Amino acid sequence: MSLLSLIEARQARVGVIGLGYVGLPLAMAVARTGFTVTGFDTDPAKIIAIKARESYIEAVPQEILAQEVDAGRFAATGDFAALGACDVIVICVPTPLTKHREPDLSYVTRTCQDIARTLRPGQLIVLESTTYPGTTDGPVKQVLEETGLRSGTDFYLGFSPEREDPGNRAFDTSSIPKVIAGDGPIAGALMQAFYGAVVATTVPVSTTATAEAVKLTENVFRAVNIALVNELKVIYEAMGVDIWEVIDAAKTKPFGYMPFYPGPGLGGHCIPIDPFYLTWKSREYELTTRFIELAGEINSAMPRHVVTRLAEALDQFAGRALSRSKVLVIGLAYKKNVPDIRESPSLKLIELIEERGGTAAFHDPHVPEVPPTRAYGKLRGRRSTDLDKATVKAFDAVLISTDHDGLDYAALARWSPLIIDTRNVFGRLGIKSSHIFKA
C-alpha cells in the first residue's frame, strides 16, 4: 500500500519524537484516532512513567494514557532504531536560545541524524518544533538528504507548528486548528491526510517556510503587545493611574481593541524565545527587527521593576530594607494552573531578591519542588512552602507572581503584612487595602 493509503486506512505507524508538553498530547490525539503510535524520548523517566501508565503532563489524563497503552495503540521507547518501522515521524523537540539569543537547533539536528540512520523510501517526516522560516527546507532537509534519499521523491517532508496552551481546558490538540505545509505537492497531500485524520480543522499554507512564519507571527504578536502594556504599566504607575482599570475600560470598546495584560515578565517555551528566531534570521537579509528587540528589552526588564517596587513598598510601608526581609513568592509556574516553570519570571524574581540580600521562598500547588533548570541551578531542589497563617505571618511580604486558582487570597490579605500583586488578583476579587500594592 502507498503511504497515502496507509494513512487513510489508519494503518500507518506513527512515531512521535519528544514526549513533553507538545509530543505526549499529540501522541494521545493520534492514537485515539486509531493509529498505532510509538513515542521516542531520551529521558528514561518518561519511558518508565508511560510503561507504568502514569501521566506526567496535566493535559493528558491518566486514564486516557492507560487506555491507549492497554489497547496497544501507544508505547514508548528510548531505542531510536525503531524509527525505521514508522511510516510517519513527527519531531517535537525543544528549540531554545543560546545565551547570546541565537537559535539552538542542536536538538532538531540530533533528532534528524537519528532519523537519517533508518530513513527509508516512503516515510513522511514532520517538524513541529518552533523555528525560523527556512529550517525545514534547509537544515532538516540537508541532514536527511545526506543519506542519498531525496525529499519529494523518496521521502516526504512537512512542517506543522505546535499550538498548545497549557492549562486552557477550552482547547486541546484535536480541537485547535492546525497549520500544515509540505515540501512539494505530494508531501502536502500526505500532511492533509494525516493531520486531517487527527484534528478538527487543518489550515494548509503554500510552503513550509510560510508555516514556520505563521508560528513566529503568532508569538511576536503576543510578545510585542504584552511589552506595550508592560511599558504602559510603568508609565501610568508613575502618574498614579491603575493600568488594570484602564484595560478593563478600554476592552469595552467593541472594535479596534484587544486586551493584553501586564505581568512580572514573560514565561513559557514560546513567547520569550520564538520572536528572537525571527530576529536572528532577519540579519541574514540585513534587516533589523526593532519592535521585537524593544519588546524583548521591556519584557526582560519587568522582574527587576517588580523587585524595585517590592523594595520601595517595604521601605515606605514597613520601614524595612529588602536586604533584611523575607519574601514569599506565590506561584513558581510561568502561568496559572499549570506546573510548567520554563522561562518563568518567578525564578528571576527569587534570584533578584536574593541578590539584594533578601530571603525568598515560594508556594506553588502545582510545583512541589524546583526541578533542574539551565539558568537557575542554585534553586534546584527547593520545596514549596506551606500556605498557612503562621507561615505567611513569618514573611515580611508576599509577592503574587502567578495567580493560580484555588488559593485563598482573602486569607492571604488578612495574614500578610504586605502584598505586592503583579496580576491584579486582589483587584479582580474586590479586595482593597493600604497594605496591597500593584506592580
Kindly list the catalytic residues.
Answer: 270
**How many whole angstroms separate alpha carbon 2 and alpha carbon 122?**
8
Contact 34, 73 (CB under 8 A): yes
Phi, psi values for residue 76, rounded to 5°: -125, 150
Contact 134, 210 (CB under 8 A): no
Number of helices followed by number of strands (H, E) in the chain: 15, 13
- DSSP class of residue 342? T
Contact 124, 158 (CB under 8 A): yes
Please provide the distance, in angstroms rounded to a whole number, between the alpha carbons at the two ends of the chain: 61
Rounded to the nearest 10 degrees, the angle between the axes of helix 208-239 and helix 290-313 is 40
Please enumerate, as own/partner, the contacts of 287-295 that have beta carbons within 8 Å and a separation of 24 or more: 291/220, 291/224, 292/220, 292/223, 292/224, 294/227, 295/223, 295/224, 295/226, 295/227, 295/228
For the four alpha carbons of 309, 311, 312 and 314, in that order, the dihedral sign comes to positive
Q: In this structure, what C-alpha cell is assigned to residue 410?
A: 482573602
* Helix, strand, or coil (residue 410): helix
Closest by Cα among 43, 142, 36, 51 to 86: 36
